[in-house]
Amino acid sequence: MALEPLPERRDPRLLGVAQPLSVGHAPPVRGRGKCLTQVYGAVGFGGCSDSAARWTFRSASGGTVKIVNVSTGACLSSSMKGQNAAVADCGSISSAILWHTGSGNTLSTAFDGGCLALSFGGNVSTQTCRPGTAAQNWART
């Protein structure tokens, strides 16, 4: 992804393109072919070819994006650092469904600035952003 958080520096070619997301530089995850997947109202890891692993980025206010599951139309959401990520109605006005794309292939929520991260046990949550952390490095595959 490698998009910068400033609107004038984001790569418009990546907006609206439905692709799976996988965590980068984490061989156990990438080696198993796992991608971010919607599982009912939550998100987790599943097969990259699953329809629930298809996400698209839609431009939103203030240089943010909504990360939308193509299969369900639900938006990736996080309401607090340390909590598991979930999905929510994309019509919501909450900043929990708005994300910044950053250097180092990070995704940080506009709600509290937490970075989307692979957590222990295969959960996906938002954590304090730590540059260079493999578990916070996401790539479109």
Name the nearest CA neighbour of 141 among 10, 1, 43. Answer: 1
Q: Tell me the pLDDT tens digit for each residue of 7-48.
A: 223 343 444 445 555 544 332 233 245 788 888 888 988 788
pLDDT: is 96 or 7 the higher one? 96
Query: In the chain, what are the domain boundaries?
Result: 7-140
**Region 108-134 average pLDDT:** 88
Helix (H, G, I), strand (E, B) or coil at 95: helix
pLDDT for res 104: 75
Q: Sorting pLDDT into bands at 50, 70 and 90, what band is 103?
A: confident
CATH topology of domain 7-140: Trefoil (Acidic Fibroblast Growth Factor, subunit A) (2.80.10)
Q: Tell me the pLDDT tens digit for each residue of 71-91.
A: 999 999 998 898 899 999 999
